[in-house]
Structure 1
Amino acid sequence: MSPASFWDRSYVAPKQLPALQELIRCCDETLLMRVILDDHAARMEDEPPTPQRRRAMEKRLASTLRSMRVLPMKKKTGRDFLLMPEESFVLHAGSLDIERRLGASLVLFDDLRLLACSNEEAAARGEDFTRRSSPNVPYEELPIRRSYTLFPWEQTLACKTWLGGPWCRRERYLVIASAVWEMTFFGFEYERVVARQAEASGKVLLGVASSGNDSAQPPSPDSTAGRARSFDLKEPDRFETDFRDSLAARTARLNGIARAEFRDRCIDASRRMGMC
């Protein structure tokens, strides 16, 4: 049996799916750290880290991964969720490069059941999935991506993970690395993360507004162009602006295709898990 053959099975029971923690344990630590640092941490840096800083980052990350591998999971809190690969595309304004990203999106199993079975079929079986999972959400917008930044590590590590699809091994590492990176949003030390998550959750519950004037509106392009003329300043070059607009439109189309493919993979996964 080849290493990837598990994801090629025609039927996989949800209980057979590995939890995120199991996949982290199965990963080659050196490769996983390389993907995390090269594809996630690198976006936070203006320039590549020095060898000394790189070694310090690797040491800190290795300690975090060790904690994740042995942390007791909260299986009951994670059993309703599934982590799945999802592509997205980002246009960088400076370089005008279109960057492809592959991350781990969190969805509800109930949303997948709705995708696998039409609302009529679900009603015929006496199962009201909509009320339990995504009330008032149109069928076409399922599955809803759930944020897990504030999830306790024990809960995220217990989430089942689906890596089926046209992915190579490095891409599967990218998905796992994305989940780890999301978990470390508040830091790499478990105790510090717990404290910061509690603080952030408290602000959400209290409805603390973000700083800044949310009502402020940016100036319209027309007014900006008019003021540029009045100040005798050079207006934007349409030759370059049109090019950026074209790239932005292309990026939007790529993201639309990626979202549609993600939905198709969700449907395929739910059917292969026998949800309908």
Structure 2
Amino acid sequence: MLCSDLLWDAQSVSRKQVPTLQDTFLCCDRETLLSMVEQGYACRLPGWGQATPQQRRVARKRMGRALDAMLDCAVKRKSGKALCVFPEERFVVHARRGQVSIERLVQARVVDLSAGAVRQEAAGGAHPFGCVPWSQALSYRVWLEGPWDCCERYMVLASAFWHLTHQAPAPRQGESGLGILSTSSESASSKAGAKSLPRCDCSFASCEESLPSADSVSRLAAVRAASMGLYVPDALEEACQERLIARVDALNQTCEGDFLNRVERLMGRLQAA
């Protein structure tokens, strides 16, 4: 695989080349990832719309600390080699006050590669990562192959981040709901004996030997982010809107195809009568 190509486009890949979830977080643009988490998930918390600017700043700082803890968490790569995070696209219909809208979601879904079957979420809202510590969940592999752009890849990673940080007990009387974003005590960076990982030690990079000498750590991180399609373009929001419009167009084309098929079926029946 050439370094100028996306990792996800490689015709063959070894298990060692497939990045862990922690590897992928290491290659993300921090502000973009946290912004996706806020826009896609945190803003839906009870009371977010009525929260003060100070409350939202506290929530953002809490998410930032959670991300730092994930990046510093001691992870055993081998422990998650059988489980892999894939993008999953879904459309949800919302009906409110006589108006109906369609929401497009691109989320993380875990597949057990050893069993060859998608892990099914348990009833009652259990998330697809299960009740496992970060040290295990962050070792799950990530594979973002598909018709995804940069924005959609960040949507997948924001979904994974939220699943690993969000717990949803019913808020007590008088609480805004903003305090229910919490980090796992087992993986917090302040936990005694926690081992810090080098922030740019992306051991999955298969083309490292052929890379030009990096001018700095940030340059190397940018090259690796580009290899995973996580290098953020300037007009990310506009690109996301264009992708949504394109997907709606694809749905409309499918509807048109179904319509033409029904017309052809009737014509065939009329001729046969």
Q: What range describes the TM-score normalised by the shorter chain of this pair?
A: 0.5 to 0.7
Partner SS for 2:75:
coil
Report if aligned partners of 1:105, 1:145 keep a CA contact under 8 Å in 2: no
The CA deviation at 1:143 is 3.0
**Distance change in 2, residues 1:188/1:168 (3 Å):** same
Report if aligned partners of 2:70, 2:187 keep a CA contact under 8 Å in 1: no
Q: Deviations over 1:58-107 (max 9, x none)?
A: 11111100000010113343121000000112111214211111111001
Partner of 1:90: 92
The residue identity in structure 1 corresponding to 2:147 is P
- The 2-side partners of 1:145 and 1:6 are apart by 27
Q: Deviations over 1:193-239 (max 9, x none)?
A: 99xxxxxxxxxxxxxxxxxxxxxxxxxxxxxxxxxxxxxxxxxxxxx
The CA deviation at 1:110 is 2.3
Partner SS for 1:93:
strand
Partner of 2:129: 148
The residue identity in structure 1 corresponding to 2:12 is Y
- The 2-side partners of 1:100 and 1:57 are apart by 25
2:66 maps to which of 64, 67, 84: 64
- The 1-side partners of 2:187 and 2:103 are apart by 29
Residue 161 of structure 2 corresponds to residue 180 of structure 1: yes
The CA deviation at 1:45 is 4.1
- The 2-side partners of 1:175 and 1:3 are apart by 23
Report if aligned partners of 2:36, 2:158 keep a CA contact under 8 Å in 1: yes
- The 1-side partners of 2:186 and 2:134 are apart by 12
Partner SS for 1:100:
strand
- The 2-side partners of 1:84 and 1:152 are apart by 20
The CA deviation at 1:55 is 1.5
Root-mean-square deviation (CA), in Å?
2.7
The residue identity in structure 1 corresponding to 2:106 is L
- The 1-side partners of 2:4 and 2:43 are apart by 29
Residue 108 of structure 2 corresponds to residue 104 of structure 1: yes
Identical pairs, percent: 34
Report if aligned partners of 2:134, 2:164 keep a CA contact under 8 Å in 1: yes
The CA deviation at 1:190 is 2.4
**Distance change in 2, residues 1:48/1:24 (3 Å):** farther
Partner of 2:224: none
Residue 32 of structure 2 corresponds to residue 38 of structure 1: no
Ranges in structure 2 where 5+ consecutive residues have no aligned partner: 122-127, 168-180, 189-250, 255-273
Aligned residues: 168
Report if aligned partners of 1:17, 1:161 keep a CA contact under 8 Å in 2: yes
Partner of 1:270: none
The residue identity in structure 1 corresponding to 2:16 is K
- The 1-side partners of 2:136 and 2:187 are apart by 14
- The 1-side partners of 2:145 and 2:50 are apart by 33
Partner SS for 1:170:
helix
Runs of 4+ in 1 over 4 A off after TM superposition: 1-4
- The 2-side partners of 1:37 and 1:143 are apart by 27
